[in-house]
Amino acid sequence: MHEIDNILKLSQTEFLKLCLEWKEDMIKEGKWDEIQENIDSNVLRCPVHQFAARKGLCKKTTGGTAKCLICGHYICPECYSHACDIISRVTGYLQVVSSWNAPKQQEFEDRKRYGVK
Ligand SMILES: [Zn+2]
Ligand SMILES: [Zn+2]
């Protein structure tokens, strides 16, 4: 594939495109399940996080959430870091979503955002 220095010259969008092509290839070759399991056991192994970490993480608290197009985990919407906590309000208190029980996390997952004008 590409040399690491050349990869770091890419923008986040260009890198994602590269990753999506790679993911498609891996699915075709039947290797994706194994890669997905590997990432699930440690989300920091996801190439999108590795790229973000090398580019520099923003380490900020930002509004909104985003999901990685490659592994599906929650990521920082700004720098694409996978080492982040999602904080949400439940019955008046702010809590880290990953500490919630499974059904409650699913409920968070199923929520939709609406804009009110
Ligand atoms: Zn990812
Ligand atoms: Zn960030």
- CA gap 70, 62 in Å, rounded: 21
pLDDT value at residue 117: 79
Please give the share of the chain, as a percent, with pLDDT higher than 90: 56
53 CA to centre of ligand 2 in angstroms: 10
CA contacts within 13 A on the Cβ side of 32 = 14
51 CA to centre of ligand 2 in angstroms: 12
pLDDT in tens, 30-59: 999 999 999 999 999 999 999 999 999 998
Contacts of 96 (CB under 8 A, 6+ apart): 85, 86, 87
Q: Mean pLDDT across the stretch 2-20?
A: 86
pTM here is: 0.80
Mean pLDDT of the chain: 90
66 CA to centre of ligand 2 in angstroms: 11
Q: How confident is the model at residue 2 (pLDDT cuts 50, 70, 90)?
A: low
49 CA to centre of ligand 1 in angstroms: 6
The ligand minimizing its distance to the Cα of 47 is 1
87 CA to centre of ligand 2 in angstroms: 14
- CA gap 85, 74 in Å, rounded: 8
Q: At CB < 8 A and 24+ separation, what contacts does 50-57 make?
A: 51/7, 51/8, 51/12, 51/15, 51/80, 52/12, 52/76, 52/79, 52/80, 52/81, 52/82, 53/81, 54/8, 55/8, 55/12, 55/79, 57/81, 57/83
114 CA to centre of ligand 1 in angstroms: 25
Q: Mean pLDDT across the stretch 72-101?
A: 89
Q: Mean pLDDT across the stretch 93-112?
A: 89
